[in-house]
Amino acid sequence: MLASPDDRSVEDEGLEDRQNLTEHVYEKLIEILIRGEMRPGDVITERKMADRLNASRTPIREALRRLEAEGLVYKQASRGVTVSPFRRKIH
């Protein structure tokens, strides 16, 4: 018998909610970078960004990992996460 969408567990819904929140935080961080509100060399602290985006630190941390994998930020020992140098392409 196939499970219906209503048969999802609370754990499944919690995971989906967390993924949606992480995606939302990721998109907000991208917007912040595009608008130039944070510049290359600026340090991003999880706590301050969580306060700014009204989110817990977990989705902030997960979104920062994604940005790091994409090369938009990098980790520095004892400094935290730093915005990477980048150039805007104008077509």
pLDDT of residue 8: 44
* pTM exceeds 0.85: no
Q: Tell whether 42 is covered by a domain.
A: yes
55/33 Cα distance (integer angstroms): 18
In a domain, 62, yes or no: yes
The CATH number that applies at residue 40 is 1.10.10.10
Measured in degrees and rounded to the nearest 5, phi and psi for residue 10 equal -60, -35
The string of pLDDT tens digits covering residues 27-59 is: 999 999 999 999 999 999 999 999 999 999 999
Per the structure, the complete domain to which residue 41 belongs is given by 19-83
How large is the average pLDDT for residues 66-81? 92
Q: How many domains does the chain have?
A: 1
pLDDT-wise least confident of 2-11, 27-36, 74-83 = 2-11
Contact 72, 83 (CB under 8 A): yes
Two tokens, residue 79: 């400094």
Dihedrals phi, psi of 52, to nearest 5 degrees: -65, -40
Does residue 6 form part of some domain? Answer: no
Lowest-confidence segment of 19-23, 49-53, 73-77 by average pLDDT: 19-23
Q: Which amino acid is at 65?
A: R
- At which residue do the structure tokens 């790091």 appear? 68
